[in-house]
Structure 1
């Protein structure tokens, strides 16, 4: 009976030992990982330049035998037409390395003059040769490039009591447009994502509100909770006699107005000045008169 118990115990311990050895082996393997890091989403304004990040992470116990070979592709496919680096004809003169050192771990690229057609997913790949793992290819996670255009925020052409905000963005429901008045968000009269046109690579977001009070109106474009761009509109109603034209009572400022405080000007108190001067003079005359009387 004791032999059976001992035999069963030895089998369990042997299995446990193998499991622990497997875990230790896996953990030791993670210490020598080579990985590629890409951000999940990046955004930029239409026509601007944007950095497409890609970083090679190498553990301290790995050693590169030769410089890594970089490949950047549109995720639509690894075809030559979708190749950013080395740039295909489609991306000629629009793509450059951020760090031109061959042994650097920074494999980010600069995409110039971003177009609507550049919206999409990108993948960074590297061909790496190390002393432990020899030659292999490794890739990062995809990066989604999202584009937005210049925001237009102004009075509507058909109604001077309405203010409208519009902006074109990459088609993605995470883009949200909002208007606030003195940090308060009034109810919008219109809220639209534009008509879906299959040939267009973007969609128009728009919001319109009533100009009920003077103050600071601000239109903001967010991607999730991150502010992408904003535009500010200052509105006030000066006191003007009614001339029959309601638009004459509208005054718009495109920058922060500096209002000087009201200053009340009082007249100079000359009577008080005279009284203050007469008091010491009268005292001096009285003293001189008393001294003369004492001598006499």
Structure 2
């Protein structure tokens, strides 16, 4: 969320975060802050505009601007809501007259729930997978016990609706806490953890060597019993 307004600046300006992440089907706030001026006086009530991917955003049933600043809330975001959003204001001041302010643009990335679990065909590999509305340079960072073991651009699979499924794998090398983080540069989008007790399980249940030996002895004992019976019958 936006919080309070920053300190006043020399001229009126707009501030937006570079990236906002939105879980599919949830409400997402796109912050836009109007920074007050030390040198200018506002003469009218600012008129708010929002653009997405260069086109004016229509305000309809799932786009609400009711916050005291210039933020907008998208309700129940869909895949199609992903894109680049720019906040604009038409204002009039005593020094510059009427003009339009532009924000510094926000990339909205819509994503589904990340999965991070054992591979279905390979129980010694962990697979991390997440679907996003677009990929402007995302990375999947995989870690074990807090130490990064892999951080790179993931493999991609594009769907007909334009979404991108990102995936990466990491070897399961023993007991510990494994993590997967989806990032855009240094901004965390979403994450998931997997706790492995593989080493403990192996220690708790050792190989049943005595059972194996007993199973091997059974045929030998049966043969000895048959041989003894044949000798007694002669």
- Using structure 2 for the length normalisation, give the TM-score: 0.72
The corresponding residue for 2:216 is: none
- What is the RMSD of the two structures over their aligned residues, measured on CA atoms? 2.7
Within 5 Å, which residues of 2 pair with 1:244-259?
none
The structure 1 residue matched to 2:67, chosen from 99, 102, 105, is 99
- For residue 203 of structure 1, the aligned residue among 164, 169, 174 is 164
Q: C-alpha distance in 1, partners of 2:118/2:48?
A: 50
Structure 1 segment 279-294 matched on structure 2, within 5 A: none
Whose strand proportion is higher, 1 or 2? 2
Contact kept, 8 Å, 1:75 with 1:142, in 2: the verdict is no
- Give yes or no for contact 1:169–1:175 (8 Å, CA) kept in 2: no
- Equivalent pair of 2:33/2:71 in contact (CA under 8 Å): yes
Cα distance in 1, alignment partners of residues 135 and 118 from structure 2: 27
Q: Please name the residue that 1:194 is paired with.
A: 156
Distance 1:211 1:123, change over 3 A: closer
Distance 1:186 1:65, change over 3 A: closer
Aligned to 1:208, the other structure's residue is in SS state: strand
In the superposition, the TM-score normalised over structure 1's length comes to 0.58
> Structure 1's 173 and 123: CA in aligned 2 closer, same or farther, altered over 3 A?
closer
Higher helix share: 1
1:138 & 1:58 partners in 2: Cα distance?
A: 12
Partner secondary structure for residue 179 of structure 1: strand
* Residue in structure 2 matching 1:123, options 70, 75, 86: 86
Q: Please say if 1:220 is aligned against 2:185.
A: no
Give the SS at the match of 2:41: coil
Q: Distance in 1 between matches of 2:150 and 2:94?
A: 63
CA 1:242–1:112: 2 relative to 1, 3 Å: same
Unaligned runs of 5+ in 2: 1-8, 209-234
C-alpha deviations, 1:13-44, integer Å up to 9, x for none? Answer: xxxxxxxxxxxxxxxxx94x332222333222
1:142-181 alignment, distance < 5 Å: 142-181=105-144
Of residues 40, 61, 72 in structure 1, which corresponds to 2:18? 40
Number of equivalenced pairs: 196
Q: CA deviation at 1:96?
A: 1.6
Q: CA deviation at 1:166?
A: 0.8
Taking the aligned partners of 1:40 and 1:67, their CA distance within structure 2 comes to: 26
Please state how far the C-alpha of 1:173 moved relative to its aligned partner.
4.8
Q: Which has the higher contact order (CA 8 A, sep 6+)?
A: 2
Residue 55 of structure 2 is aligned with which of 77, 88, 94? 77
The separation in 1 between residues aligned to 2:172 and 2:36, in whole angstroms, is 57
2:97 aligns with 134
What secondary structure sits across from 1:217 in the alignment? strand
The CA deviation at 1:107 is: 0.9
- Judged with a 3 Å threshold, the aligned counterparts in structure 2 of structure 1 residues 147 and 232 are, in CA distance, closer, same or farther, namely same
